[in-house]
């Protein structure tokens, strides 16, 4: 027999039992045993199916919330990086910030800015700007993005690195495993550019990942570069 104080509490607060999933399962199982093995409890089967559906809905709900938090964190990350882009007062400091603070904020191992130019890449003035700036011959960006194939070029490309990546990463090419490539349009009459983010993690940039935030970052970067090139 149930003790009187427990019985009184259950009678006064029956929702305590109804809200306890494990306790309700135990009561249903006891009811099925009392009915015997030759009786099928359709109501119990329906409840099990509803519980399974509820579990799936809860898992989906948790996944949606986790994705929302991840997107929010990524948005804040990109916004901080953009503010850091706007701070420098000289082009040299701009490139240093790109390779330092901006790369750290975006959690990438390497950032390179590729500019097509007819100017000699060994020019001392260019070398002074550091490793972040890569000067290439006209047509290099399209060839690198396509990988030598006849494919349409996208504004943002996420992929694992190619064997020819040493042209961009130099000595670090052996360690960079995935990359985000953002095409840059500097305006009419100017050769295109390419903003490259490299990561040692081969899964950090994958073709299945979303590119909206990177496209937004590239758009701001593109407009900032037009100011320096004017």
pLDDT, tens digit, for every residue of 28-75? 777 766 666 666 666 666 777 777 787 788 888 787 777 677 777 788
DSSP helix/strand/coil, 151: coil
Q: 39 and 79, same structural domain? A: no
Q: 32 and 94, same structural domain? A: no
Q: Looking at residue 194, what is its pLDDT?
A: 93
Q: 101 and 15, same structural domain? A: no
Among 173, 168, 165, 121, residue whose Cα is nearest residue 147: 165
Q: Residues near 113 by Cβ (< 8 Å), separated by ≥ 6?
A: 95, 98, 132, 133, 134, 193, 194, 195, 196
CATH of the domain at 135: 3.30.450.40
pTM: 0.68
Q: 148 and 174, same structural domain? A: yes
106: containing domain: 63-229
**For the residues 205-230, what does the mean pLDDT come to?**
88
Q: 225 and 130, same structural domain? A: yes
Tell me the pLDDT of the chain averaged across its residues: 82
Q: Residues near 29 by Cβ (< 8 Å), separated by ≥ 6?
A: none
Q: Looking at residue 46, what is its pLDDT?
A: 72
Q: Looking at residue 159, what is its pLDDT?
A: 92
Q: 103 and 177, same structural domain? A: yes
Which residue's structure tokens are 């009811």? 31
Domain count, the chain: 2
Q: 68 and 52, same structural domain? A: no
Three-state SS string over 184-228 comes to ECCCCCCCCEEEEEEECCCCCCCCCCCCHHHHHHHHHHHHHHHHH
Write out pLDDT tens, residues 94-127.
888 888 899 999 999 999 999 988 765 555 555 5
Q: 101 and 134, same structural domain? A: yes
Q: 189 and 85, same structural domain? A: yes
Q: 90 and 39, same structural domain? A: no
Q: 68 and 46, same structural domain? A: no
Highest mean pLDDT among 17-31, 107-121, 126-140: 107-121
Q: 96 and 174, same structural domain? A: yes
């Amino acid at each position: 027999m149930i003790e009187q104080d427990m019985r009184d509490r259950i009678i006064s607060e029956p929702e305590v039992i109804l809200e306890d999933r494990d306790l309700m399962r135990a009561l249903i199982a006891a009811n099925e045993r009392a009915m015997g093995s030759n009786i099928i409890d359709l109501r119990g089967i329906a409840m099990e199916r509803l519980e399974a559906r509820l579990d799936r809905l809860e898992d989906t709900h948790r996944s949606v919330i986790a994705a929302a938090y991840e997107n929010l964190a990524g948005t804040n990350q990109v916004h901080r990086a953009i503010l850091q882009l706007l701070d420098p007062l000289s082009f040299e400091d701009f490139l240093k910030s790109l390779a330092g603070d901006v790369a750290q904020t975006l959690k990438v191992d390497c950032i390179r800015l590729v500019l097509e130019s007819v100017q000699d890449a060994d020019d001392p003035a260019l070398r002074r700007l550091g490793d972040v700036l890569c000067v290439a011959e006209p047509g290099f960006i399209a060839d690198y993005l396509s990988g030598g194939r006849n494919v349409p070029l996208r504004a943002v490309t996420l992929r694992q690195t190619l064997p020819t990546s040493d042209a961009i990463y130099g000595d670090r090419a052996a360690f960079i495993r995935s990359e985000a490539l953002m095409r840059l349009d500097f305006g009419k009459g100017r050769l295109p550019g390419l903003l490259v983010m490299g990561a040692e993690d081969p899964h950090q940039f994958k073709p299945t990942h979303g590119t909206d935030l990177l496209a937004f970052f590239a758009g701001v970067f593109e407009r900032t570069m037009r100011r320096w090139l004017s």
